[in-house]
Amino acid sequence: MELTRRQETILEIVKKDGPITGEHIAERLSLTRATLRPDLAILTMAGLLEARPRVGYFYSGKSFNRVLAEKIHSAMVSKIKSVPIVVSEKCSVYDAVVTMFIEDVGTLFVVREGGLLEGVISRKDLLKITLGGQDIHKLPVGVIMTRMPKVITVELEDSVWLAAYKMIVHEVDALPVIRKITTEKEQEGYEVVGRISKTNIVRFFVELGEGS
């Protein structure tokens, strides 16, 4: 986020003389309160200024980088996740390729009976096996998937920062969002409740940049 010259001036005034009302800031700049309202709203939403009724604006003491870091760490995976695309472990590689193409995703999550997470298949996994000359109509995805517990996951309450960090460290494009459950047959495992991908992360950053 790049501040305008007027926003930087407002920030300096508040740093020096805050708490200070919007009317007094406007007087100092020889502008109307209405003219300054958008700038004050941006600075407040960005976390650089704080406002209190009948008191005015005061400097939060935080740099923009620190404010941004706090927002990334406080935003939860549950807020930006998307719908997971799952297939059965008995699904053929061919059907998995078709599903990936139709759903326009780069990762499929494999579940077993009861809907518990069993593994993950990436676009790279499918490409390797397809070029290997095997009969992909008969070969089940369970043969080529990355199995639990080697699957990298996140939970609903995890931060967006943690999800992005795991993607970078483990060099994956998407992570299953999970929660621990016990099925009717008393099986314990993890239910897939969402998907968080690089696209989700990029969209989140774009929205931050727009002040959403």
Alpha carbon 7 to its chain's center:
29
What number of other Cβ atoms are within 10 A of residue 53's Cβ?
5
CB 114 within 8 A of CB 187: yes
Distances (CA, A) of 123 to 1, 160, 171: 35, 23, 13
For the chain, percent of residues with pLDDT exceeding 90:
51
What's the pLDDT score for residue 177?
97
Q: Band of the pLDDT at 100, cuts 50, 70, 90?
A: very high
Alpha-carbon gap, residue 54 to 113, rounded angstroms: 60
Q: Which two tokens stand for residue 12?
A: 């300096």
The model's pLDDT over 25-64, given as tens digits with 9 standing for 90+, comes to 999 999 998 998 888 888 887 778 888 887 888 888 776 6
Q: Which two tokens stand for residue 115?
A: 């809907």
The model's pLDDT over 63-86, given as tens digits with 9 standing for 90+, comes to 666 666 777 778 899 999 999 999
Domains and CATH numbers, the chain: 5-72 (1.10.10.10), 77-210 (3.10.580.10)
| Residue 211 pLDDT > 70 | no
Q: Which two tokens stand for residue 67?
A: 């404010």
Those residues with Cβ within 8 angstroms of residue 27's Cβ, 6 or more apart along the chain or in another chain: none
If you compute the radius of gyration of the chain from its CA atoms, what whole number of angstroms results?
25
Those residues with Cβ within 8 angstroms of residue 136's Cβ, 6 or more apart along the chain or in another chain: 92, 93, 94, 97, 129, 130
CB 84 within 8 A of CB 47: no
